[in-house]
Structure formats: structure tokens, C-alpha cells
């Protein structure tokens, strides 16, 4: 009972029909995840779909379908399928690659893919020489065996090409295992750090919460270069790793050139303007019209010309009410309350900017950037790379090499020798057979 | 010389090559077929020069990079890949029909390039994400794969015409079936390579080799369809109409991987 069940399971899992079914099911269901955007916050889906559709999609975990139970099940079934099929093939492949020291086997002359026979009245030595030439031309130097009045020749080439497909299949398993390890033990998320700032917390993708790193990352500097068109050309971040406030590592992270630390990968993903740091503020004397340029940094006061008043920038916003960048200016006059007011780039018709006998305008500011870092940890990634390399090795073995074998048997007596040829090729049989045919004709005509 | 002008000339050359192959098949004129081959070689030489000129020109502009970085450049390279695959495989098949398919597809793509008004053919600087050593190997392996799949798509359509519509002029159905299979098996290996180089690149750029981004997912869908095709062909011995349909569906997936993702779905890969 149990053995028959096992047998049945074995039959199911060793079937290529199952492989084809799983491939096509994975393909068909994967389409869904490219139509329904993955990993958004639930509220977004709730707002988009009707309640019925929403709960149906949620039930089948369509919002994160590539990690759902049923998609994982398909992948597990595929893995079992690969394992069972590979194990089933292994004995045959071992036999092909490491043939038992034979023992000439006469059955091959009845069962091989390609078989030829002819009678000859030639001398045995001539026949042998011709057979050797034929085998040499097809695959390589043959080995000669004599047994019971019969002479045998055999040669083969490219038997390791048989390893190609098992290599590919086992490597695909490696990639799947690597992927599984990565999903279970790794994480992937983003952190934004303002220049000069530091952080130890990663916001994980797909609404999976926060991840503490156990150390701080400080953004020492962020620089971005632009093309003439205004497109970014290159951006990079100077990073320092702080462990308990102690600097333990530092480096540069550029796009396509991640920074690595303790098995974590920090990739330069995005950037943005977090604010302004240094400012150029024009202060025009309302009476004389004379303009002075002030250079305050954020929260640092500078003296105003001719007088004992001071000016400072308290806040910066990249866009205030659609009117562009603005700073919150503070006027400090002795014996008076602080005067606080917004200053825009454009000073015209703005009484607000007229304070203490000066008209203030925001002339320029140096941007304070934040750097967007994608942080990832993936302990399975090395298995994936090994898998990738082996897949290619397998494909190359399989594509560029063919296992070719040729057997020749000469039997009979002087004057009536019978010469039998058997041959096989693991692929591209057409050209191989054609070549054999040509050589065969040459012998028989002679 | 302006590379876009050269491409316009190449478009015509491929058209005449396809036409000459057609004449050669219909009227059994082998000499015309030879002329078509000469046209193709001339066309691909010009096209290669155009690509190189563009490459050199980008360095003169101070934004040097391989011309594989936007939709226009990818289409030009796609048509080049089809002709390249044709020239490599030509000896093996010795059939003018293979020539028609390749030159006609290459012509169609370039004609689209020339006629579509909204295609930006100026040399643009490379955004930081595309500045990677993986760009060239990733794009070349992917587009050579697409080219093989395009040819297999053509032979499957012809197979259906031969079997279902009984167009007698076409070559033997077995031959068409065999070409479809061989093109798919080579394309499959190249697609695998394309996905792997893409994964290695994604790992450098975003810290993960696979993120189920729509383009990634669609490349996997394509891979799975052709994988199913190969298993059915090799292990189950399936042939014929059913397999032609799988090959056609596979190519639809290729087109969707290449274009649909950019026009229909949003994702990280929307450079081209």
C-alpha cells in the first residue's frame, strides 16, 4: 500500500508533463503580479478595488503574490520535480560517462541509432585499416579488441557533454535554494539620510516595517553632477559607519558601485533636496536703495549694515505655497520683539519682506541634500552566483559538445568478411549520419 | 556621415534583400538569392558602421557610451541582431526562406524606426543607473535572444501556413519545425544569459538580484514558456501545430517583455 503510494508519487514527480505544467502555471500566474502592483500599503488597494474584489485578492495574497503560499508551493513542487528527475537520470549518465570495462557487447550492433553492415572479400588487414580510418575521421583513435575470431573497434568523444543537463538542473535548484535563503534570512529596504545626519534604521520594502542595523550610518557628504541638459550625471555619498559613536569604516557609494559592510550592501538609489544650508540674502536699504548681500547659515545671525540689528534664517522650505523656495527670516533689533517673516526669491510687491528699513530677498541658497540608500542583506546570494555559473557551464557542455560513439565489428573468414558498424550521437544526428554515410560509401566502393 | 541617415538607407537595403529572396524562391532563381545575400552583407556592414559612428560621435559629444541606451538605439540593435543571427546560421540551413524572414523582420523594425515620428534619435547622455559594465553584455545577450525568438516566431507562422492553409511553396514542414526548435534552444540559452547578467547588474545597482519588477517578471515568464517548449520537444517528443502555438505565445511574451512593460506597466526598467 505505502510502497505503491511512494511509487505513484515517484511516477508523478518524475514526469516531464508535471514540469511543463508547472512551468506554464508559474508563467500564467506571474502575469497577475505585473498587473496588480505588488507590496503597496493595504489602504491603497482598499481605495482602488471594490470590497468584494479586494477580499478575494487579499485571500489569495495577490498583493504580495510572489511570496504567497500557493506560489511557493508551485516552486517547491518544481524543486521536487527537478530532484526526482535528476536522480532518475544519474545512473544512466554514470554508465555513459564511466562505462564498465567491457566486454564487447554485440547487442549494440542491433540496437544503435545508426547501423550499417557490408560483406567484403578484402584482406583482414585492409578492412581493419579502413575501419580505423573511418572511426578516426568520425570521432578519434579507436581501441581494438579481439575476441572469438571477431575483431572489434570502438571510439568515443565528448562523453562529458552528458553532464550538461544535470548540471543545469542542479544549478537551478541552487538558485532556488539561494533565493529561499535570501527571502528567509535577508532583508531589503531604504533609508534616507540628510547630509551630515546619521541613521541606524531601514524602512523595509513592501510595508514590512523597520529594521535596526545595530550601528549608525553617517552621510558625510553628498555630491551630484549634472549634464548640460539638467539630467543627473553622477551622484555619490561619502559614508562613515559608527559603532557606538566610534568610526569603524568609511567609504564612497556611487550608483552601480555599492558600499559593503558586514555582509550588508548599501546601494546609492536616489537623492533629493532636504533643505538649504547656506543662504544669500539681499538686503536693500529702503531709503538709499543700496543693496548689501548677507551670507547667513541656518540659525546663525549676521549683522545688518549700519546699525546694531542682526538677521538670521530660522527655517528653509523648498516650496512654500507654490511660490518656490522660501526662508523664514528673523530680524533682531535691540530693545524690540523678534520680527519673523517669510522671504521669497522675488521681492516685488511684498510688504512682508520690508522690515527694519530693508527689503529682503532670497537670492540663492546652497542645497542640503539627502541621500537615498537601498540597504540589503542576502545570505543566499553566493548560491545564486554559483548556480548561474554552473548553468552556463552546463549549457556550454550541452551546446558545444556532442557525445559521439562508433563501434565496428569484423567477423567471418577470409574472402567473406562481414563488417558491422554501429554509431550514435547525443544530438545533431543529421550531419553525423551524413558524414558516416560518405565514409561508408568510400569503403564499400573500394 | 550621419548615422540616422545610414539607417534609413539600410532600411531600403533590407527591403530589397527580402524582395530578392522572395523572387529567388518563387521563380527558383538561385542567382537572385545570391544577390540578396550580397545586399544583406552590404546592409549589415552599413548598419554596423552606423552603430560605430554613433558610438564614436557620443564620445565627441563628451557623453561617450555604447549606443544601446534608449528605444531608438535598442530597435536598431534588435534589427542588427536578427541579421547577425541569420548570417551565423545561414550555412546550416541553406534556405532562402530563412533569408526572407530575417531581412523582412529587420526591415520591419527599421521601417518602424524611420516612420515613427515620436522616436527620439538624438544621442542622449547616460543616466547614472545605466553607467555600468553590465550594460553591454546584458543588452547584447538579451537582444540576440530576442532575434532568435523572432526567427522562430517566423518559422512557426510558416509552419502553420504550411500545415493548415497548405501553402505548397513553403519548405518541408519538418525543416520548419527543426529551425523553430534550434532557434528557440539557442535563444533560450542567450535569454538565460541575459537574465543572469541583468540579475548581476541589479545586485550592483539596487542591492538585490531579483525584485519581481515587471520587466524581470516578464523575462521570467518568457523563459518559462520557452523552457516548457524545450522540455516538451526534447523529453516528450512533441512536434507540430501545438508546438508552433507555444512558440508564437513565447514570442508574444518576448514582445511584452521588450515593449509592453515600458508602455503598459510601470517599473524600474523604464529607461528605453
pLDDT of B43: 95
The Cα-based distances of B83 to A243, A442, B47, B100, B256 in angstroms read 57, 39, 10, 11, 22
Is A395 in contact with B266 (Cβ distance < 8 A)?
no
pLDDT value at A373 more than 90 = yes
pLDDT of B78: 96
Strand order in the sheet with A416-425: A114-120, A416-425, A404-413, A150-157, A143-147
What is the three-class DSSP state of A317? strand
Same domain, A352 and A384: no
Q: Kindly compute the dihedral angle of the four CA atoms of residues B5, B9, B15, B17, in this order, to the nearest 10 degrees.
A: -140
User: What secondary structure, in 3-state letters, does A256-273 show?
Assistant: CECEEECCEEEEEEEEEE
Same domain, A248 and A286: no
Same domain, A413 and A301: no
End-to-end CA distance of chain B: 25
Mean pLDDT over A127-133 rounds to: 88
**Residue A352: pLDDT band with limits 50, 70, 90:** low
Measure the CA–CA gap between B220 and A74, rounded to whole angstroms: 15
The residue among A233, A253, A243 whose CA lies nearest residue A373 is A253
* Domain that residue A22 falls in: 2-96
User: What secondary structure, in 3-state letters, does chain B show?
Assistant: CCHHHHHHHHHHHHHHHHHHHHHHHHCCCHHHHHHHHHHHHHHHHHHHHHHHHHHHHHHHCCCCCCCCCCHHHHHHHHHHHHHHHHHHHHHHHCCHHHHHHHHHHHHHHHHHHHHCCCCCCCCCCCCHHHCCCHHHHHHHHHHHHHHHHHHHHHHHHHHHHHHHHCCCCCCCHHHHHHHHHHHHHHHHHHHHHHHHHHHHHHHHHHCCCCCCCHHHHHHHHHHHHHHHHHHHHHCCCCCCHHHHHHHHHHHHHHHHHHHHHHHCCCCCCCCC
Contact in structure between A162 and A426 (CB atoms under 8 Å): yes
pLDDT of B53: 93
Mean pLDDT over A153-179 rounds to: 91
pLDDT of B1: 62
Q: Which of A82-86, A290-294, A325-329, A427-431 has the lowest mean pLDDT?
A: A427-431
Same domain, A266 and A380: yes
All 3 cell numbers of residue A321? 505655497
Measure the CA–CA gap between A332 and A326, rounded to whole angstroms: 19
Residue of B91, B128, B226 to mutate for A, most A C-beta atoms under 10 A: B128
B219 φ/ψ angles, rounded to the nearest 5 degrees: -65, -35
Is A30 in contact with B206 (Cβ distance < 8 A)?
no
Contact in structure between A309 and A332 (CB atoms under 8 Å): yes
In a domain, A56, yes or no: yes
Chain A positions in Cβ-Cβ contact with residue B265 (cut-off 8 Å): 34-35
Same domain, A284 and A240: no
Same domain, A283 and A347: yes
pLDDT digit string (tens) for A207-238? 788 989 989 999 998 888 888 877 888 889 99
Mean pLDDT over A103-109 rounds to: 77
pLDDT of A347: 57
Percent pLDDT > 90 in chain A is 28
Q: Kindly compute the dihedral angle of the four CA atoms of residues B119, B72, B259, B11, in this order, to the nearest 10 degrees.
A: 100
Q: Give the distance, in angstroms, between the CA of residue A410 and the centroid of all CA atoms in the same chain.
A: 57
A364: β partners: A280
Q: How many domains does chain A have?
A: 4
Chain A positions in Cβ-Cβ contact with residue B187 (cut-off 8 Å): none
Measure the CA–CA gap between A325 and A152, rounded to whole angstroms: 92
All 3 cell numbers of residue B203? 545586485
Measure the CA–CA gap between B133 and A257, rounded to whole angstroms: 11
Q: Which of A234, A258, A384 sits opposite B207 (nearest CB)?
A: A258
pLDDT of A348: 53
A85: β partners: none
Angle at the Cα of B258 from the Cα atoms of B252 and B260, rounded to 5 degrees? 70
pLDDT digit string (tens) for A12-46? 888 899 999 999 999 999 998 888 888 888 888 88
Chain B residues contacting A via beta carbons under 8 Å:
63, 124-125, 127-129, 131-132, 185-186, 189, 192-193, 196, 199-201, 203-212, 214, 217-218, 220-221, 224-225, 227-228, 231-232, 235-236, 253, 261, 265-266
Residue of A176, A255, A381 to mutate for B, most B C-beta atoms under 10 A: A255
The residue among A274, A278, A276, A308 whose CA lies nearest residue A293 is A278
Same domain, A270 and A286: no
Same domain, A295 and A351: yes
Q: Which residues of chain B have pLDDT under 50?
A: 270-272
Same domain, A410 and A384: no
Please report where in the chains the cell 565496428 appears, as a residue. A408
pLDDT of B265: 67
Measure the CA–CA gap between A82 and A74, rounded to whole angstroms: 12
Write the ipTM.
0.91
Contact in structure between B187 and B88 (CB atoms under 8 Å): no
Measure the CA–CA gap between A264 and A271, rounded to whole angstroms: 20
**Residue A99: pLDDT band with limits 50, 70, 90:** confident
In a domain, A106, yes or no: no
Strand order in the sheet with A339-344: A302-303, A310-317, A326-332, A339-344
Measure the CA–CA gap between A80 and A86, rounded to whole angstroms: 10
Same domain, A200 and A347: no
Same domain, A378 and A266: yes
Chain B positions in Cβ-Cβ contact with residue A258 (cut-off 8 Å): 204, 207
In a domain, A167, yes or no: no
In a domain, A323, yes or no: yes
pLDDT of B272: 43
Is A27 in contact with B225 (Cβ distance < 8 A)?
yes
Measure the CA–CA gap between A429 and A114, rounded to whole angstroms: 9
Chain B positions in Cβ-Cβ contact with residue A231 (cut-off 8 Å): 124-125, 127
Contact in structure between B191 and B142 (CB atoms under 8 Å): yes
Is B205 in contact with A267 (Cβ distance < 8 A)?
yes
Chain B positions in Cβ-Cβ contact with residue A66 (cut-off 8 Å): 212, 217
- Within 10 angstroms of residue A216's Cβ, the number of other Cβ atoms is 18
Same domain, A252 and A283: no
Please report where in the chains the cell 532562402 appears, as a residue. B96
Measure the CA–CA gap between B136 and B197, rounded to whole angstroms: 10
Choose one of A66, A96, A126: the last residue of a domain.
A96
Nearest Cα residue in chain A from B222: A27
Angle at the Cα of A124 from the Cα atoms of A118 and A125, rounded to 5 degrees? 125
What is the three-class DSSP state of A245? coil
Per DSSP (E only), the strands in A195-347 are 198-204, 210-226, 232-243, 246-254, 259-261, 264-285, 291-294, 302-303, 310-317, 326-332, 339-344
pLDDT digit string (tens) for A38-61? 888 888 888 888 898 889 988 998
pLDDT digit string (tens) for A284-317? 887 887 888 888 887 788 888 877 888 888 888 8
All 3 cell numbers of residue A160? 562529458
Angstroms from A272 CA to nearest CA on chain B:
15
- Residues whose CB falls within 8 Å of the CB of residue B142, separated by 6 or more in sequence, listed in order: B190, B191, B194, B198, B219
Model-level pTM? 0.86
In a domain, A166, yes or no: no
Q: Give the distance, in angstroms, between the CA of residue A69 and the centroid of all CA atoms in the same chain.
A: 23
Angle between helices A16-35 and B214-234 (to 10 degrees): 160
Chain A positions in Cβ-Cβ contact with residue B205 (cut-off 8 Å): 255-256, 267
Average pLDDT, chain A: 86
Residue of A34, A168, A432 to mutate for B, most B C-beta atoms under 10 A: A34
Nearest Cα residue in chain B from A379: B208
Is A391 in contact with B196 (Cβ distance < 8 A)?
yes
**Residue A102: pLDDT band with limits 50, 70, 90:** low
Q: What CATH number does the domain containing A408 carry?
A: 3.30.310.80
Amino acid at each position: 500500500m505505502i510502497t505503491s503510494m511512494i511509487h505513484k508519487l515517484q511516477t508523478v514527480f518524475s514526469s516531464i508533463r508535471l514540469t511543463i505544467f508547472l512551468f506554464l502555471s508559474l508563467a500564467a500566474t506571474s502575469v497577475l503580479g505585473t498587473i496588480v502592483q505588488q507590496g503597496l500599503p493595504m489602504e491603497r488597494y482598499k481605495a482602488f478595488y471594490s470590497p468584494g474584489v479586494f477580499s478575494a485578492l487579499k485571500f489569495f495574497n495577490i498583493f504580495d503574490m510572489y511570496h504567497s503560499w500557493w506560489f511557493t508551493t508551485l516552486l517547491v513542487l518544481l524543486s521536487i520535480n527537478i530532484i526526482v528527475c535528476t536522480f532518475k537520470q544519474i545512473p544512466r549518465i554514470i554508465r555513459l560517462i564511466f562505462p564498465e570495462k567491457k566486454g564487447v557487447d554485440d547487442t549494440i550492433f542491433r540496437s544503435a541509432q545508426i547501423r550499417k553492415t557490408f560483406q567484403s572479400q578484402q584482406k583482414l588487414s585492409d578492412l581493419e585499416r579502413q575501419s580505423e580510418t573511418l572511426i578516426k575521421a568520425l570521432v578519434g583513435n579507436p581501441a581494438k579488441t579481439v575476441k572469438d575470431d571477431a575483431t572489434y573497434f570502438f571510439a568515443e568523444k565528448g562523453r562529458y557533454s552528458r553532464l550538461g543537463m544535470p548540471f543545469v538542473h542542479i544549478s537551478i535548484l541552487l538558485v532556488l535554494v539561494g533565493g529561499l535563503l535570501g527571502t528567509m534570512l535577508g532583508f531589503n529596504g531604504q533609508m534616507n539620510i540628510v547630509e551630515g545626519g546619521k541613521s541606524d534604521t531601514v524602512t523595509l520594502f513592501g510595508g514590512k516595517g523597520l529594521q535596526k542595523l545595530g550601528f549608525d550610518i553617517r552621510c558625510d557628504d553628498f555630491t551630484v553632477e549634472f549634464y548640460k541638459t539638467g539630467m543627473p550625471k553622477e551622484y555619490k555619498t561619502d559614508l562613515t559607519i559608527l559603532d557606538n559613536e566610534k568610526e569603524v569604516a568609511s567609504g564612497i557609494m556611487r550608483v552601480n558601485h555599492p558600499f559593503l559592510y558586514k555582509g550588508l550592501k548599501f546601494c546609492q538609489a536616489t537623492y533629493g533636496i532636504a533643505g538649504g544650508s547656506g543662504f544669500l540674502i539681499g538686503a536693500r536699504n529702503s531709503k538709499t536703495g543700496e543693496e548689501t548681500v548677507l551670507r547667513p547659515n541656518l540659525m546663525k545671525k549676521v549683522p545688518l549694515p549700519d546699525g546694531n540689528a542682526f538677521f538670521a534664517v530660522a527655517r528653509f522650505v523648498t516650496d512654500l505655497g507654490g511660490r518656490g523656495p522660501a526662508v523664514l527670516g528673523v530680524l533682531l533689533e535691540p530693545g524690540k520683539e523678534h520680527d519673523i517673516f517669510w522671504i521669497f526669491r522675488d521681492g516685488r510687491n511684498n510688504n512682508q519682506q520690508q522690515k527694519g528699513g530693508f527689503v529682503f530677498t532670497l537670492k540663492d541658497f546652497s542645497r542640503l541634500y539627502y541621500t537615498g540608500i537601498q540597504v540589503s542583506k542576502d545570505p543566499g546570494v553566493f548560491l545564486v552566483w554559483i548556480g548561474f555559473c554552473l548553468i552556463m557551464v552546463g549549457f556550454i557542455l550541452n551546446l558545444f559538445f556532442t557525445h559521439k560513439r562508433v563501434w565496428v565489428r569484423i567477423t567471418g573468414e577470409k574472402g567473406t568478411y562481414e563488417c558491422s558498424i554501429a554509431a550514435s550521437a547525443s544530438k545533431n544526428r543529421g550531419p553525423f549520419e551524413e558524414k558516416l554515410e560518405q565514409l561508408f560509401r568510400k569503403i564499400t566502393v573500394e | 556621415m550621419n548615422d540616422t541617415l545610414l539607417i534609413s538607407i539600410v532600411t531600403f537595403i533590407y527591403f530589397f534583400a527580402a524582395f530578392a529572396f522572395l523572387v529567388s524562391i518563387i521563380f527558383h532563381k538561385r542567382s537572385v538569392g545570391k544577390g540578396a545575400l550580397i545586399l544583406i552583407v552590404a546592409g549589415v556592414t552599413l548598419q554596423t558602421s552606423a552603430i560605430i559612428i554613433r558610438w564614436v560621435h557620443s564620445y565627441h559629444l563628451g557623453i561617450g557610451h555604447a549606443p544601446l541606451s534608449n528605444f531608438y538605439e535598442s530597435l536598431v540593435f534588435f534589427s542588427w541582431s536578427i541579421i547577425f543571427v541569420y548570417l551565423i546560421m545561414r550555412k546550416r540551413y541553406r534556405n532562402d526562406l530563412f533569408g526572407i524572414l530575417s531581412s523582412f523582420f529587420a526591415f520591419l523594425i527599421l521601417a518602424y524606426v524611420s516612420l515613427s515620428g515620436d522616436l527620439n534619435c538624438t544621442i542622449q547622455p547616460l543616466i547614472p543607473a545605466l553607467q555600468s559594465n553590465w550594460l553591454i553584455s546584458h543588452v547584447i545577450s538579451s537582444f540576440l535572444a530576442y532575434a532568435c525568438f523572432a526567427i522562430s516566431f517566423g518559422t512557426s507562422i510558416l509552419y502553420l501556413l504550411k500545415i493548415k492553409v497548405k501553402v505548397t511553396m513553403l519548405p518541408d514542414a519538418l525543416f520548419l519545425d527543426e529551425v523553430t526548435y534550434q532557434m528557440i534552444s539557442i535563444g533560450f540559452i542567450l535569454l538565460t544569459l541575459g537574465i543572469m547578467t541583468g540579475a548581476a547588474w541589479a545586485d550592483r545597482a539596487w542591492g538585490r538580484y531579483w525584485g519581481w519588477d515587471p520587466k524581470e517578471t516578464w523575462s521570467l515568464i518568457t523563459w518559462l514558456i520557452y523552457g516548457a517548449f524545450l522540455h516538451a520537444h526534447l523529453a516528450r517528443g512533441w512536434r507540430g501545430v501545438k508546438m508552433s502555438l507555444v512558440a508564437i505565445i513565447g514570442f508574444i511574451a518576448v514582445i511584452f517583455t521588450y515593449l509592453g512593460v515600458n508602455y503598459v506597466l510601470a517599473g524600474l526598467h523604464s529607461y528605453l
